Amino acid sequence: MKSVRIIALKKDRKRLLEHLQDSALVQVKKGKQVSEGFQRIDKSPQIKQFERNAEITEQALNILKKLSPEKKGLLASFKGRKEIDPDEIGRIAAESAKILGVCQKIITLEKQRADYAAEQIRIRTSLAQLEPWKKLDIPLNTKDTPTTAVLIGTLPKAYDDITLSEALATECPDLVFEFEILHTSATMTCVVLFAPKKQRELAEKSLRTLGFSQPINPTSRTPQVKSKRLQDKSDDLRRKDEEAEQEIIRLTEYREKICNTQDYFELRIEKYKVISELDQTGHVFVLNGYVPEEDCAKLQAVCEKAATCVVEFEDADEDAPIKLKNNRFAEPAQSIVTMYSTPSHADIDPTPVLAFFFYFFFGMMFSDAGYGLLMIIVTTILLKVFKPDKAMRNNLRLFRNCGIFTVFWGLVFGSIFGDAPAMFYKMFTGNEITMKELLPWPILDTQKDALMIMILSIALGLVHILVGMGCKFYVCMKQKEYAKAFFDTGFWMLLLCGFAVLAAGMAAGQIVIYIGAGISIAAAVGLILTQGRGKKGIFGKLIGGVASLYDITSYISDLLSYSRLLALGLTTGVMAQVFNMLSTLFGTSIPGIIFMIVIFVAGHLITIGLNALGSYVHTMRLQYVEMFSKFYEGGGKPFEPFSVKSKSFKTKGSNDD
């Protein structure tokens, strides 16, 4: 990585920044102190305005998505962004005010619909409150007449004419009254009571004793009339809501333009953030940033094409970001590395090592040649037909490479859609045959040769761990930490190799056992003599060295983790064979053939889905936990260039992919 300083005339700033954004070659330094004689322009008001505009477009798109979801095919997510001419961005900018108006209209219509919905809730509540009073032919707020008191309300339990009369008579024997019960339920009685006006207070007191309460919203119209008006208002609100919804749906024709406008605002936000980081005078500006060393010539050419400027390169400081660069084989696995952490300047790029082992272990766990071939075919078609963007393209290549190794291990284990060839052979000939007999090369049966595959898994795990420790050895040597390299890493590698030779000696003979024992003892002595070197005193150093040997349990635990290579491979094969067996239950009749096709296809799709996911997760775990823990620190800052970060389009000739 190189530091770069670009000095140009202020009049060329717009053109130069546009070219730099399209090229995606330089990451602008942020937070650096302003150089003497220069100043920085605060663009936060413009940035906030663009952010508000982008938020408005996002709200509009969410509303459109809810009311009129975009009809996308199952494979639409693989499709790359639309490629447009750079001049098209200018046309998008010119139309942005109009599109913002459309977005505001969509948002306003949705707010109206929200108001209508809230009003409908209030109407439903009022109708529910009026429902018990439907039989009442006078308004709920009817006043007293000159001679008669009118009391309308509810009692908190069920009454009939007899029980209510008895209750009122018991409470006040002197009260003269007439009443009508309009509605009764288990928890409420709606009643209207008439009494002489001079006994109003007496009537109110008696009713209060029974828990009487007046209606919450008494009306000046009869309940039936009020209910009719509320229902008419509800129907009118429903009509208006439908009209607003249809108007929003009609505006879905602007969806693509809204997406483009949103991206335009995002581009402007990025651009103005960069302008805020520039050192400027009245006539000149200076851009400080980072550029990958291999892109220096490209950046020089871009700058000279866009403006008259001076471009200066120098070695980057320790705060420089990291850009991973790998060949076509390893590049798809970069996402696995960055998902864990970007390497720091002290690390090596683990992608090439991780890529090989990731593909290798995934293939061993998925371990079916038929499934691997399907992965290769499907990912290749998706790459050719949909031309996806870089991130998706690398993901597809990752699984295509995994598919290649899956084919390899499937042939090693003799698994082609489980035992499908042998199953079909038996089904249509009636003769028993095994995959080992059918295939012209020697195979390892995951069920019959499980012990051998377990030994192979542990051996591969040992190689994997030793490679990780070898990376640590290299890093220590690169940093001139020779004691750490030889004592803390080298002796452990030697000890593990000694144990491996010991294990091999059980099959190879006594001499190999002696060699393995000699290597192991020498390594153990080396660890005892060196691992306590940070302690004080000879006794402390010796105790520290002896105690360090306890770490062997950690390495044994790590090695046992690789038994999952056998477990996942066995699971894939067994599930495939079970579905193969189920598919043959009804023989070779026409219904049996139909049943076979359905079960065969569905069963193997289930097997692929479950075991591909399991293989992916467990392979990633082996990389992160077993290998990365041996040497990888991470914590680096990823290279994030000034680029066209758009969701819906990319410009022709840009380097943002």
Residue 656 in contact with residue 643, Cβ under 8 Å? yes
In this model, does residue 544 exceed pLDDT 90? Answer: no
Q: Which residues contact 576 (CB under 8 A, 6 or more apart)?
A: 368, 415, 417, 418, 419, 420, 603, 604, 607
- Residue predicted with more confidence, 249 or 548: 249
pLDDT of residue 656: 59
**Residue 151 confidence class, pLDDT cut points 50, 70, 90:** very high
pLDDT, average across residues 557-585: 90
SS3 278: coil
Cα–Cα distance measured from residue 100 to residue 52, given in angstroms and rounded to the nearest whole number = 11
Kindly state the DSSP code that residue 294 receives in the 8-state scheme.
Answer: G
Tens-digit pLDDT profile for residues 417-463: 998 898 888 888 878 888 888 888 899 888 888 889 999 999 999 99
What amino acid is encoded at 223 in this protein? P
In this model, does residue 246 exceed pLDDT 80? Answer: yes
pLDDT of residue 147: 92
In this model, does residue 190 exceed pLDDT 90? Answer: yes
**Residue 488 confidence class, pLDDT cut points 50, 70, 90:** confident
Residue 382 in contact with residue 64, Cβ under 8 Å? no
Cα–Cα distance measured from residue 3 to residue 13, given in angstroms and rounded to the nearest whole number = 20
pLDDT, average across residues 106-115: 95
pLDDT, average across residues 9-16: 90
pLDDT of residue 319: 83
Topology annotation, domain 141-214: Alpha-Beta Plaits (3.30.70)
pLDDT of residue 66: 92
pLDDT, average across residues 75-85: 79
Tens-digit pLDDT profile for residues 297-328: 998 998 988 888 898 999 888 888 999 999 99
pLDDT of residue 37: 79
Q: What angle do the packed helices 450-478 and 491-508 form, to 10 degrees?
A: 150
Place of tokens 């929003």: 248
Residue 189 in contact with residue 153, Cβ under 8 Å? no
Domain assignments of the chain as residue spans, ordered by start: 141-214
Helix (H) or strand (E) holding 554: helix 552-561
Q: Which range in 79-83, 133-137, 374-378 is most confidently predicted, on average pLDDT?
A: 374-378
Average pLDDT of the chain is: 89
pLDDT of residue 364: 94
Stretch among 204-208, 535-539, 546-550, 636-640 having the lowest mean pLDDT: 535-539
Burial of 434 (0-12, 13-18, 19+ CB in 10 A): middle
| Whole-number percent of the chain with pLDDT over 70 | 99
pLDDT of residue 657: 59
Q: What angle do the packed helices 351-366 and 564-583 form, to 10 degrees?
A: 40
What amino acid is encoded at 441 in this protein? W
**Residue 120 confidence class, pLDDT cut points 50, 70, 90:** very high
pLDDT of residue 86: 76
Tens-digit pLDDT profile for residues 356-394: 999 999 999 999 999 999 999 999 999 999 888 888 999
Among 311, 242, 252, which Cα is nearest to 16's?
311
In this model, does residue 229 exceed pLDDT 90? Answer: yes
Cα–Cα distance measured from residue 223 to residue 209, given in angstroms and rounded to the nearest whole number = 27
pLDDT of residue 643: 86
DSSP string, 233-265: HHHHHHHHHHHHHHHHHHGGGGHHHHHHHHHHH
In this model, does residue 605 exceed pLDDT 90? Answer: yes
Tokens of 631: 């040497």
In this model, does residue 514 exceed pLDDT 90? Answer: no
Q: Are strands 148-155 and 27-28 parallel, antiparallel or unpaired?
A: unpaired
| Whole-number percent of the chain with pLDDT over 90 | 49
Q: Which residues contact 280 (CB under 8 A, 6 or more apart)?
A: 10, 38, 39, 40, 41, 286
pLDDT of residue 655: 63
Stretch among 299-308, 433-442, 527-536, 570-579 having the lowest mean pLDDT: 527-536
Among 442, 371, 362, 443, which Cα is nearest to 405's?
362
**Residue 653 confidence class, pLDDT cut points 50, 70, 90:** low
- Residue predicted with more confidence, 229 or 547: 229
